[in-house]
Amino acid sequence: MKYFPLTPILHPWIEELSKDKDLIFDWINEHNSPINLINLDTFAENFQEFKAVFDKYELKHKIFFARKSNKSKSLVWAAKSLGFGVDTASIHEVKDCIEIGLNPESITVTAAIKNKELIEYAVKHQIPIILDNDDECDLLHEVLSASSSTLKVGIRLSGFLHNGKKLYSRFGYDVTKVKPLLTNHFTAQGKYSNFIFEGFHFHLNGYSIAERVSAIFQTISLMDEIKPYGFHTSYLDIGGGILMNYLTSKEEWTDFLSALKESVKDDRDEVTFQKDLLGMVLHDGHVTGEPKIYPYYNTISQGGFLEQILSSTSDGKFCHEELNKRGIELRIEPGRSILAQVGVTVARVAYRKYDIDGRLLVGLEMNKSQMTSASADFLVDPLFLPKDELAPELTEVYFVGGYCLEQDFILKRCIRLPQFPQVGDLVCFVNTAGYMMHFYERQAHGFEYAKNLVIGNKRTWEVLSDEKFWESRLNN
Ligand SMILES: *Cc1c(COP(=O)(O)O)cnc(C)c1O
């Protein structure tokens, strides 16, 4: 077993809180482990960071929080009160927005499956939707015809050319097929005459700035092509996938990754449980492929990432200028990146034991579904909050959870604690608001979901359950 540190970036509120340990012990005693803690002030800061970039380039813009990244409804309330929108992926998420009182124009529906119930609801409340395929168009047309209404729509695009190759996505219309779709069907005589075309949308997989720039310029060309046919485009929505950075040190990140690759050698210690390669493949003694992990360390993130896109050029033309010239509103749908530093997850130590190979396993009152994303491991060191300060004793451990599965390791990585862990100590996973706490959370074994607490007052550290928070704010 060998520990390679991955030191987290800590927002001052998280540092302050971790120094006020008694408070966290009180919350855990009251609500039981695990708890998720949300700070809406940080959510507001992230929103302002994006807004400042748009303002710098004097761009018309609209920010939509991609709700799927965290289920706390208080974030929807915060988006409303800060004056930005919400991107929704299901009827449940759409209904939450209406209940919280978002203006329909501040909701966008990019749901991968839009059934009749969802479309009827959107039409009834006049919530614009993003169209993905012909069957969706037909269903929307049917619903609109039945109620003699119209609806504002956007079209999702894919298949952009980048470095001579088409970027694959299972979502959206091929960008080359959209002009005939519009000119044949979205006209007064066409079959979709009750659609009000407003704009284009895309969401690219991965985190490439260059691919996003290619997609923007190709969409601008499309806008120019359809304009003579009477189609005015008012917005371009470039989706999410804006990077965020979790870690303080590039060196730690590269050291960990090379140690991970090297660990397969017989004479090396494991750095992950049983030398798990996090998605790389071992073939004839050689490690191939890339680890299937989020780039937890990166240098261009959040506002800086957006700024790089806007200030990019193609054929000497600036992205922001081309959008401005045409009066296009640029929209983004950040999920993860607008939740940077917004949340932490705290769990209590239930037991310590040595496994048959001599590893120290630390059982936490939580399970893996409460700390899982698409990344093969959450590569960020947690904070250790011991009940009592004991004599320093560096101790390498693995955190395991409550599922009766061999695989229920909360982190695959070996972690080092500054003293020997005791039953009742706490472990605080930082920066978990984006996807980690909710996206894969399950109730297997009948375990209750983690408690979601929202900081109501930062000065007094008053916390409320998510439900109580947004209900109390709505009723005021
Ligand atoms: C997932 C998703 C987002 C948010 O992506 P992040 O990487 O969390 O910023 C935005 N828009 C759409 C359509 C998505 O599917």
According to the model, what pLDDT value does residue 476 have?
Answer: 79
pLDDT for position 44:
98
The span from the CA of 295 to the CA of 305, in Å, is 14
Q: Give residue ranges with CB within 6 A of ligand 1.
A: 66, 68-69, 87, 110, 203, 239-242, 333-337
* Residue nearest ligand 1's atom 10 by CA: 240
The tens digit of pLDDT for each residue in 402-418 reads: 999 999 999 999 999 99
Take atom 7 of ligand 1 and give the residue whose Cα is closest. 241
Q: What's residue 209's pLDDT?
A: 98
Long-range interactions of 281-287: CB distance < 8 A, separation 24+: 287/261
Mean pLDDT of 146-170: 97
The average confidence (pLDDT) of the chain is 97
- pLDDT tens-digit series, residues 252-305: 999 999 999 999 999 999 999 999 999 999 998 899 999 999 999 999 999 999
Residue nearest ligand 1's atom 11 by CA: 239
Percent of the chain with pLDDT over 70: 100
Give, for ligand 1, the residue of 333, 337, 431, 438 to mutate: max count of ligand atoms closer than 8 Å to Cβ.
Answer: 333
Residue-wise pLDDT for 213-253, tens only, equals 999 999 999 999 999 999 999 999 999 999 999 999 999 99
Instruction: Tell me the backbone φ, ψ of residue 83, rounded to 5 degrees.
Output: 85, 25
Task: Give the confidence band of 2 by pLDDT, cuts at 50, 70, 90.
Answer: very high
Burial of 288 (0-12, 13-18, 19+ CB in 10 A): exposed
Query: In a mutational test of the pocket of ligand 1, which residue from 87, 169, 246 has the highest number of ligand atoms less than 8 Å from its CB?
Result: 87
- d(CA 320, CA 300) in angstroms, rounded, equals 18
Ligand 1 atom nearest the C-alpha of 207 is 7
- Whose alpha carbon is nearest atom 3 of ligand 1? 240
The token duo for 172 is 């959206």
The yes-or-no verdict on residue 450 having pLDDT over 90 is yes
Output the pLDDT for position 466.
Answer: 98
> What tens digit of pLDDT does each residue of 79-135 get?
999 999 999 999 999 999 999 999 999 999 999 999 999 999 999 999 999 999 999
SS3 content of the chain, % helix, strand, coil (to 5): 35, 25, 40
In angstroms, what CA-CA distances link 391 with 5, 21, 22, 386, 417? 21, 18, 20, 12, 12
pLDDT digits (tens, 9 = 90+) for 170-212: 999 999 999 999 999 999 999 999 999 999 999 999 999 999 9
Phi-psi region of 159 (alpha: psi -120 to 50; beta: other; left: phi over 0): left
Quote the ligand 1 centre to 177 CA distance (angstroms): 24
Is the pLDDT at 458 greater than 90? The verdict is no
Tell me the mean pLDDT in the region 384-398.
Answer: 98
Q: What b/e readout covers 335-355, taking b as 16+ CB neighbours within 10 angstroms?
A: bbbbbbbbbbbbbbbbebeee
Confidence of residue 475 (pLDDT cuts 50, 70, 90): confident
Closest Cα partner for 185 from 155, 163, 218? 155
Number of other residues whose CB lies within 10 A of the CB of residue 290: 10
Q: For position 261, what pLDDT does the model report? A: 96
User: Would you tell me how many other CB atoms lie within 10 Å of the CB of residue 180?
Assistant: 9
**Residue 335 Cα to ligand 1 middle (Å):** 6
Cα 152 to ligand 1 centroid, rounded to whole Å: 21
In this predicted structure, what is the pLDDT of residue 285?
Answer: 85
pTM: 0.97
